[in-house]
């Protein structure tokens, strides 16, 4: 009977396998991109929904452009009247007094101020005034009042020769700013970050086996070899065949035991015997998860138990429980087989697998 305490000393615990993490991460990139695409669709959809709710009321705008003819010799005025200055000037008494006289008492000074935006796009001589509001007639009235106020300012102030309206685009619905692509990108980024975090936590917990080293570290049992996915058998067959042949030569039964649902032991048994049955002398059997009946444990106590562990499937916790239970019942655990392995992944992990079998 194998000394389990000795095995625990033989296979000490180590940290996270960074190489396995990187390979698993690269393998999941297509899935992460799909998750990101889903996040982008959800993000843009939510944004459009919120934008539609917030923009139920139509906003109207009227954009006008004025030419400012500065008085000769007043170069300082050109420096003073820039885009920021004009926004301030439009709210002062220089402009608002004239506008309120034109508009009358039905308009409040503060509401009129909020409707007006002044911009100097490039040349300080060209002033663009934008009036926005929810009432089309009010927008038109305020824009007309702005025209009278600016014309009066140009005639009244000695800094200017004149301020003249040169373009009027009329009243029209204001374009609604949609930033769907930004919402989509943000949704993509959030979804991918969440998936990376989830993957990292899951890998760090160590509930999935990818390498023989991980099995030895977590379960403290020897690993007899790897078995690749169907139609993908390569270098690992020879190693696995030799390990199992040793058990058979001992004239003892060999039982492949599942550690989770999925009939992995039966699938492995069928694939293995179809290739190596003529080279084996012992009795090979399988036992499915969960192992609950006493006769099943009786069968295990008289045989070499080989745990069949699927590659890349969450099962480490169940495997630990089964190993502890088998050891408690003094069953002989000959080792484990990592089955359904992805050949390309294993090849990348071991660089050239056939030269590094012991890892």
- Name the domain count of the chain: 3
Q: What is the pLDDT of residues 235-275, one digit of tens each?
A: 555 566 666 666 664 556 778 888 888 788 888 888 777 76
Same domain membership, residue 320 and residue 214: yes
Rounded Cα distance, 243 and 224, in Å:
6
pLDDT for position 277: 57
Predicted confidence (pLDDT) at residue 183 exceeds the cutoff of 50: yes
Same domain membership, residue 303 and residue 275: yes
Give mean pLDDT, residues 173-184: 80
**How many CA atoms lie less than 13 Å away from 144 in the CB half-sphere?**
11
Same domain membership, residue 183 and residue 168: no
Same domain membership, residue 76 and residue 217: no
pTM of the model: 0.58
Same domain membership, residue 100 and residue 227: no
User: Quick one: pLDDT band at residue 304, thresholds 50, 70, 90?
Assistant: confident
Same domain membership, residue 316 and residue 343: yes
Give mean pLDDT, residues 148-176: 86
Same domain membership, residue 315 and residue 294: yes
pLDDT for position 136: 87
Domain boundary among 207, 223, 253: 207
Same domain membership, residue 250 and residue 156: no
Same domain membership, residue 217 and residue 346: yes
Q: What is the CATH number of the domain that holds 165?
A: 3.30.70.1130
CA dihedral 222, 227, 228, 233 (to 10 degrees): 130
Tokens 């025209």: give the residue.
147
pLDDT for position 192: 95
Question: 80 or 99: which carries more pLDDT confidence?
Answer: 99
Give mean pLDDT, residues 215-220: 89
Which structural domain range is residue 40 located in? 18-54+176-207
Residues in the chain: 359
> What kind and span of H or E run contains 146?
helix 136-156
Rounded Cα distance, 151 and 214, in Å:
83
Helix and strand counts by DSSP (H, E) for the chain? 15, 9
Same domain membership, residue 165 and residue 307: no
User: Quick one: pLDDT band at residue 40, thresholds 50, 70, 90?
Assistant: very high
Q: What is the pLDDT of residues 335-351, one digit of tens each?
A: 888 888 888 888 888 77
Question: 135 or 55: which carries more pLDDT confidence?
Answer: 135
Q: What is the CATH number of the domain that holds 263?
A: 3.40.50.300
CA dihedral 289, 293, 298, 303 (to 10 degrees): -10
Give mean pLDDT, residues 189-204: 91
Same domain membership, residue 11 and residue 22: no
Alpha carbon of 21 to those of 208, 312, 316: distances in Å?
11, 12, 16
Same domain membership, residue 131 and residue 45: no
């Amino acid at each position: 009977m194998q000394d389990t305490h000795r095995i625990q000393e033989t296979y000490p615990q180590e940290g996270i396998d960074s190489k396995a993490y990187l390979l698993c991460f690269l393998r999941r990139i297509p899935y992460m991109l799909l998750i990101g695409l889903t996040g982008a669709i959800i993000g843009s959809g939510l944004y459009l929904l919120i934008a539609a709710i917030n923009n139920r009321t139509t906003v109207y705008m009227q954009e006008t452009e004025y030419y400012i003819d500065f008085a000769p010799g007043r170069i300082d005025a050109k420096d003073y009247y820039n885009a920021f200055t004009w926004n301030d000037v439009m709210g002062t008494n220089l402009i608002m007094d004239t506008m309120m006289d034109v508009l009358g008492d039905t308009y409040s000074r503060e509401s009129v101020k909020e409707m007006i935006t002044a911009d100097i796009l490039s040349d300080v001589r060209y002033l663009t005034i934008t009036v926005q509001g929810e009432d089309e007639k009010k927008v038109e009235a305020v824009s007309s009042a702005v025209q009278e106020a600016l014309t009066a300012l140009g005639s009244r102030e000695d800094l200017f020769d004149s301020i003249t309206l040169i373009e009027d685009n009329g009243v029209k619905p204001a374009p609604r700013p949609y930033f769907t692509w930004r919402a989509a990108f943000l949704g993509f980024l959030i979804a991918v970050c969440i998936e990376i975090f989830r993957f990292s936590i899951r890998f760090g917990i160590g509930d999935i086996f990818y390498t023989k080293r991980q099995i030895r570290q977590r379960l403290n049992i020897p690993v007899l070899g790897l078995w690749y996915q169907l139609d993908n058998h390569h270098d690992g067959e020879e190693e696995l065949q030799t390990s199992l042949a040793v058990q058979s030569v001992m004239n003892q039964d060999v039982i492949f035991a599942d550690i989770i649902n999925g009939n992995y032991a039966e699938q492995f048994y069928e694939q293995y015997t179809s290739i190596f049955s003529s080279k084996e002398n012992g009795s090979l059997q399988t036992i499915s998860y969960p192992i609950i009946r006493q006769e099943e444990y009786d069968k295990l106590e008289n045989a070499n138990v080989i745990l069949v562990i699927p590659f890349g499937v969450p099962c480490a916790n169940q495997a630990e429980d089964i190993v502890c239970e088998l050891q408690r019942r003094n069953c002989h655990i000959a080792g484990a087989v990592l089955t359904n392995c992805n050949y390309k992944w294993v090849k990348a992990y071991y660089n050239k697998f056939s030269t590094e079998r012991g890892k």
